[in-house]
Amino acid sequence: MKLLHTLLVGTALTLAVPALAQTHDHEAMGHDMSQMESKNSDAKSMDMGGGHDEMTMQNAVKFTLSPDGNIQAGKTTKVTAKLTLLEDGSVLGERELKEAHTRKLHLLVVDPTLTDYHHIHPTPMANGEWSFDFTPLKNGQYRVWADVIPVATGKQEYIVADIGMPSKEKATIDQSTAMTSTVDGYTFTLALEGEPKAGAAVMGNVTVTKDGKPFTQLEPVMGAFAHVVGFTEDYKSVLHIHPMGKEPTSDAERGGPKLEFHIEPEKAGFVKLFAQVRIDGKDVFAPFGITVK
Ligand SMILES: [Cu+2]
């Protein structure tokens, strides 16, 4: 059985209040390489009218999203992402970003109800901008966290931007605890070795089964057998929980059924978690709900 050690790479991005942002690294088993630093965040959201949204954080990077058209449920829209260094306005293209988990740019996208999660890797364009296709399951606005490490700063940061027209109805988050979920016939069971508390680490694991039997054919995805991401109920923070320790050394390697990680939530409240694995060449996202005391 292959155990996966995942390090919580907690990151809090807030739009209007001071937040903690944590950088991450994954390394040899058991080494916690995370660093923390305080950041003040300030963001502004612009109306979608011109097909353009942006938020500027007091980070090193500015992130702008420009959809090609209206963001609509079931419709694929081409979106251009632009990352620039705030300091000098220089564009952060492929060469200006460091690779993390096999990619230069990771986008974590979710709707305000925290149910429709997308993990997207945009394609670099010749002008230094990035392009991706987005097909939401829902109408309304989506929030996008860009996970980047600029070569210039060497620091990982999450920058946030919204796309789509905000819905008039208030989004409701289902805050029920969900320790198991079934997707495409695979059952994912989350177990925590203790009560999750703000500021404290707790070990967790996800076990994958199919037809009641342990599933051991998880394929490598972004250099690991699982990636776990969490979104807090205030819709302001993402907990990026990345694998540590033994990682697949080739695409031919297979993992499962048990995937281990640490969770170290920064604040109390509901957290929606998604475990991302790859099965038969397809990414599968298993949702869970936990409440942090
Ligand atoms: Cu990614």
Q: What is the pLDDT of residues 126-140, one digit of tens each?
A: 999 999 999 999 999
Q: Cα angle vertex 241, ends 75, 280, to 5°?
A: 55
Dihedral angle sign, alpha carbons of residues 233, 271, 61, 130: negative
Tell how far the Cα of 119 is from the centroid of ligand 1, in angstroms. Answer: 6
d(CA 51, CA 69): 7
- Per the listing, tokens 């966290």 go with 145
Report the mean per-residue pLDDT for the chain. Answer: 82
| 70, 173, 193, 227, 276 from 177: Cα distances, Å | 34, 12, 16, 20, 19
Tell how far the Cα of 83 is from the centroid of ligand 1, in angstroms. Answer: 16
Q: What is the pLDDT of residue 214?
A: 97
Tell how far the Cα of 125 is from the centroid of ligand 1, in angstroms. Answer: 18
Tell how far the Cα of 49 is from the centroid of ligand 1, in angstroms. Answer: 29
pLDDT tens-digit series, residues 3-18: 333 333 333 332 322 2
Tell how far the Cα of 86 is from the centroid of ligand 1, in angstroms. Answer: 23
pLDDT tens-digit series, residues 66-108: 999 999 999 999 999 999 999 999 999 999 999 998 999 999 9
pTM as predicted: 0.79
Let me know if domain 5-10+173-292 sits in CATH 2.60.40.1930: yes
Tell how far the Cα of 100 is from the centroid of ligand 1, in angstroms. Answer: 8
Decide if pLDDT at 251 tops 70: yes
Q: Would you kindly state where each structural domain of the chain is located, as residue ranges?
A: 5-10+173-292, 18-163
Reported residue count of the chain is 293
Tell how far the Cα of 133 is from the centroid of ligand 1, in angstroms. Answer: 15
d(CA 233, CA 83): 27
Tell how far the Cα of 169 is from the centroid of ligand 1, in angstroms. Answer: 30
Q: What is the pLDDT of residue 186?
A: 98
d(CA 107, CA 138): 18
Options 1.10.760.10, 2.60.40.1930, 3.40.50.300, 3.60.15.10; CATH of 18-163: 2.60.40.1930
Same fold, 5-10+173-292 and 18-163: yes
d(CA 240, CA 223): 15
Tell how far the Cα of 106 is from the centroid of ligand 1, in angstroms. Answer: 4
Tell how far the Cα of 24 is from the centroid of ligand 1, in angstroms. Answer: 14
pLDDT tens-digit series, residues 108-120: 999 999 999 999 9
Q: What is the pLDDT of residue 247?
A: 81
Tell how far the Cα of 176 is from the centroid of ligand 1, in angstroms. Answer: 27
Query: Between 188 and 263, whose confidence is greater?
Result: 188
HSE-CB of 268 using CA atoms within 13 angstroms: 3
For the chain, give the DSSP string. ----EEEEEEEE--SSS-EEEEE----STT----EEEEE--------GGGS-EEE--SSSEEEEEEESS---TT--EEEEEEEEETTT--B--GGGB--BTTBS-EEEEE-TTS---EEE-PEE-TTS-EEEEE--SSSS-EEEEEEE-BTTT---EEEEEEESPPPSSPP------B-EEEETTEEEEEEESS---TT--EEEEEEEEETTEE---BBPBTTBS-EEEEEETTSSEEEEEEEESS--SSTT--B-SEEEEEE--SSSEEEEEEEEEEETTEEEEEEEEEEE-
